[in-house]
Amino acid sequence: MLGVGRWGPRGRDEAPALGGPGAAMPDGADVGGRITSVDVAERDAWVILVEAEGVGPVTFGRLIGAYGTARGVLLAACEPGGVARLVEAAADADGGRGFPAETARAIATAAANPAPILDPVRRSGVGVVVLADDAYPARLRRVALPPPVLYVRGSPSSMDRERAVAIVGTRRPTAIGRGTAARIADAVAGLGATVVSGLAMGIDGAAHAAAIGADAPTVAVIGGGHDRLYPAAHRGLARRIVDGGGAVVSEFAPETEPSRGTFPRRNRIISGLADATVVVEAGARSGALTTAAWALEQGRDLFIVPGRLDDPSVAGCLAFLREGGPDARIVAGIPELLEDLGLVGVAPRAAASADRGGHEAGPTSTEAVLVSLPPVARAIAREVVAGRTSVDELVTATGLGGATVLGAITALEVRGLLVETFGRYRAAGALAAAAGRPRPHVPRVGRLERASARDPDRAA
């Protein structure tokens, strides 16, 4: 990714040792027990270099390309005339562009006295995963300019599970939006995918909490340092994420204060850690739209939950759908989303095939419909599909109480998935279509008929 091998062109054994003050950080626990490809001293050097004032992923890449290792960069910076040579070497490595001398001096200062950088990391107890580690998440490695260093509390392996879906949205959601985020997260987690979000209030928090409730790992990417966790109200949620086998991740050193500029950088990591991003609710100026834009930039799938035309909580979603073109896909329902994500063993359908070809999309699978339901409603729906259609039969089949069964039936009727006829219940809507039962014929009507249905006086 940075144009050199894991240990630079000279190889691991020939890489110079970084001298000077500041003992190496302890190895092992910082990467969740996984074998890594970078020794402790080189990982220290990555942290020192990336935290030097003015060093970003581009400058970091130029320097590693020039010197092969982070230790090599720091040793060169400490030599007489090292500041000028760093600038020249970076310019040679990148076609003459180089970087400011102030940045080179900051690197030299950090190399000579690394304790102010390394000590807070040690005190915080966070793990350090660098781009050259085996533990670095593969999805994030594939984006343009991945963060060279990640500070991780929890399990790094949770960032590298087979499937991952980011769920983001506004900090001030409606009750419907919060519930939708939770239902999507519960369904996604129930099918084995990691839920990724930003630990913010609102949609992010609902997604994380639902994943935890499903006993699935979830990954939170924060917009500041671990010791400046924001929002403070989510410290308990962060602990639950770690305790549940997930991770809280940042590219910022532990004492970094969150600011207006740190959150857009955090958003590119959220989308970069996921196969797809789902935006549930976003106002016209919501930061979730930045995550959506990053998802498209990174070549990842993007799904947006639409809403009412006059609802400010979804104004940003609707604007993005209008301006984002065919690359931004509509969430037409949770079962449909699960299939589009490829999580239920069905090949994702082309979202716009029905619009372009004039043909109706294939039916949603029964499992996709069921997995999007709460557990009790899911059990009742499964039995109805199997042919148990009376309350007594459902009570016997599920072992649930009569009141519980009736409550679940009511919830399924509200969702349009069950209908009652003479005391018997049968599948309806998406559940009926998924179970292979014919839907009732709905005649097509013209504008006049539709207007009549809305306003009988107008038809007269």
3-state secondary structure of 227: helix
- Predicted confidence band of residue 325 (pLDDT cuts 50, 70, 90): low
d(CA 226, CA 126): 8
Q: Which of 304, 338, 313, 290 is nearest to 177 (CA)?
A: 313
Q: From CA 362, how far away is CA 344, in angstroms rounded?
A: 14
Asked if residue 17 has pLDDT above 60, the reply is: no
Q: 98 by DSSP, 3-state: which? A: coil
pLDDT at 19 over 70: no
CB within 8 Å of 282: residues ≥ 6 apart: 168, 169, 170, 288, 289, 292, 313, 314, 316, 317, 320
pLDDT of residue 285: 75
Q: Quick check: bond before 335 cis, omega within 30?
A: no
| pLDDT given for residue 97 in this prediction | 66
Report the 10 Å Cβ neighbour count for 368: 26
Q: In this predicted model, which residue has the larger pLDDT, 154 or 428?
A: 154
**Phi–psi pair at 71, nearest 5 degrees:** -65, -40
Assigned CATH class of 373-460: mainly alpha
Residue 313 amino acid letter: S
Tell me what pLDDT residue 26 has.
34
Distance CA 235, CA 249 (A): 13
SS (H, E, C) 265-284: HHHHHHHHCCCEEEECCCCC
Question: Which of 73-87, 117-131, 398-412 has the highest average model confidence (pLDDT)?
Answer: 117-131
Nearest-angstrom CA–CA distance, 77 and 134: 28
Write out pLDDT tens, residues 144-164. 889 999 999 999 999 999 999
Give mean pLDDT, residues 93-118: 84
Q: Which amino acid is at 21?
A: P
Inform me whether the pLDDT recorded for 11 exceeds 60.
no
Please write the tens of the pLDDT for every residue from 248-306: 999 999 999 998 888 889 999 999 999 999 999 887 777 788 898 889 889 999 999 98
**pLDDT(5) > 80:** no
User: 3-state SS string over 298-326?
Assistant: CCCEEEECCCCCCCHHHHHHHHHHHHHHH
pLDDT of 456 higher than 60 = no
CB atoms within 10 A of CB 261: 8
* Domain ranges across the chain: 1-125, 152-331, 373-460
Buried b (16+ CB within 10 A) or exposed e, 288-309: bbbbbbbbbebebbbbbbebee
**According to the per-residue pLDDT averaged within each range, which of 238-242, 319-323, 436-440 is highest?**
238-242
Whether the per-residue pLDDT at 352 is higher than 70: the answer is no
**Which CATH class, in words, describes the domain spanning 152-331?**
alpha beta
DSSP β-ladder status, 194-197 and 218-221 = parallel
